[in-house]
Structure 1
Amino acid sequence: TFRDANGVGLCDLPDAPRPAADTPAPPRFLPEFDNLLLSHADRTRVIPPEYWGRSWVGNLAHSTLLVDGFLAGVWKLEEDALVVEPFGRLTRAQRDEVTEEGARMLAVMHPGSSYDIRFGTVVREAP
């Protein structure tokens, strides 16, 4: 058993390998209603406080982007493009990694198809 920053017990295998705390996590595209973001009472390990509530509106959950293991934006697939909306500024290296991961995801989702990958607006404000 381990303890989180608040002293809450975390159960894990005691001899399981664990990466160093400063090991970067690659970007990941998660689908709508992904279990990681919706099923835990305490989501502080993946959702920064400033982004709380930005991945869903009412009962609509957006497809989300994780950068370095934390919620960093939302995404959607349009007819000809994967559109990524970061919630904050990404470094050039992070944008490149997001683009590369997006290309890998598209190759699995739509093999042989051609899509642009662009950064833009996914969540539109109500009129």
Structure 2
Amino acid sequence: MPQISGSDTNTLSLNNIPSSFSGNYFRVLISNTNDNIYSKVAQLSQTLSNSNFSLDFADAFYDRNGSIIIEKNATAGDIKFRLIDINGRVLKSSQFSNDKFIVSVGSLDNGVYFLELKSEDKSGIKKLLID
């Protein structure tokens, strides 16, 4: 488990957490020299920001320079993607068959979005934080 340091906050950011941890519940233990203080129980959710996520059929990387790079696995057929805002509006969508596809998101406002990827028989959705 990663070591955490910081100040008072309601948000805890962890990096390099395996995607298999998403959906699990956790409790943060904070200790000082005398006592241990436990946080409330919370559920871990994965946000795609400066990291990446992998599905069986594709990988996606947010490069923080205004692009999402989607790379499909060799065995995957056509990939469909949709970029959806927090209100459920589809902002961008396309289908591609090349090994790599780049989606420009530099013009979007800061906020939370959802990246949906679909292959012939599989799909996945991940949160995307643009800040």
Please state which band the TM-score falls in when normalised by the shorter chain: under 0.3
TM-score, scaled relative to structure 2: 0.26
Specify the structure having the higher radius of gyration (Cα): 2
TM-score, scaled relative to structure 1: 0.27
Please state which structure has a larger fraction of its residues in strand.
2
Which structure has the higher relative contact order (CA within 8 Å, separation 6+)?
Answer: 1
